[in-house]
Amino acid sequence: MAQLMEDQVFMAFTTHAAIVILKMILMGPMTAYFRFTRGSFANEEDVARKSAEEKKKLLRAHPDVERVRRCHRNDLENIVPFVMVGLLYALTGPELSAALLHFRVFTASRLFHTVAYVGKLPQPSRALSYLGGMLATLSMAYNVLSSVLIL
């Protein structure tokens, strides 16, 4: 493992993977922030100390909370595959410049996707950022398969 951590491609991968995983983790507290600031709770126990009338107001969906939750779900659908495919890609020994391009495009795409989604930027900003990340992951998957495919 120590030898692997000396490989520049693997170090680049771990850096970018850590960035997007941290970003994904922080979506949980962001959801909580939106829940509290918008007064929108999903569970009865979250408002247990409130009056019946207050509970009716607080136990509801809010569009801003749902927007953050959808963004978080989108992260789960894209960052987990990136980490798995990116690890395999890094292990195939790609050129550093190509690997950095893949990792940077994916990371920038995911960061911008969150800004576009939560910030309600007009389309196609969110779609293009999603597409950039997806293409980076698909390109790495293609490179992995091209490197190791045995039929």
Could you report the per-residue pLDDT of 23-53, keeping only the tens digit for each? Answer: 999 999 999 999 999 998 888 887 878 777 8
Q: Which H/E stretch holds residue 117? A: helix 96-118
Q: Is 131 helix (H, G, I), strand (E, B) or coil?
A: helix
Above pLDDT 90, what percent of the chain? 79
In a domain, 67, yes or no: yes
In a domain, 111, yes or no: yes
Give the pLDDT of residue 3.
Answer: 76
In a domain, 133, yes or no: yes
In a domain, 92, yes or no: yes
Q: Residue 142: give its domain's CATH number.
A: 1.20.120.550
* Integer angstrom CA distances of residue 126 from 68, 83, 99, 120: 13, 21, 24, 9
Of 128, 138, 121, 130, the C-alpha closest to 67 is 121
In a domain, 42, yes or no: no
Question: Beta-carbon neighbour count of residue 105 at 10 Å?
Answer: 17
Structurally, the chain folds into a number of domains equal to: 1
In a domain, 45, yes or no: no
Residue 101: domain span: 4-28+62-148
